[in-house]
Amino acid sequence: MDTSTTYFIIASASAFGGALLKLLYDSKCSHLNFCFGCVEIERDVGREQEIEEHREHHEHSNPV
């Protein structure tokens, strides 16, 4: 396998991982389960929603 193919595979895997993380963050699920139960994540989505609303309010009241 040549170098350009290796770089393409690494870049594709990185882009896929980043897109997956973005999707999971935006989903607002309170309980996430990965790898058939090996990794479990509990999230405080209520607090995340408050932070997001505060950030949006701050951006609208102080435009750059």
- Residue spans per domain, the chain: 3-61
**53-60, long-range: CB < 8 A, 24+ apart:** none
* pLDDT score, position 64: 58
In tens, the pLDDT along 31-62 reads 878 778 788 888 777 787 788 888 887 777 76
> Which residue has better confidence, 29 or 55?
55
> Which residue has better confidence, 8 or 63?
8
Instruction: Look over the chain and give the mean of its residue pLDDT values, rounded to a whole number.
Output: 82
In tens, the pLDDT along 6-24 reads 999 999 999 998 988 887 7
Contact 45, 30 (CB under 8 A): yes
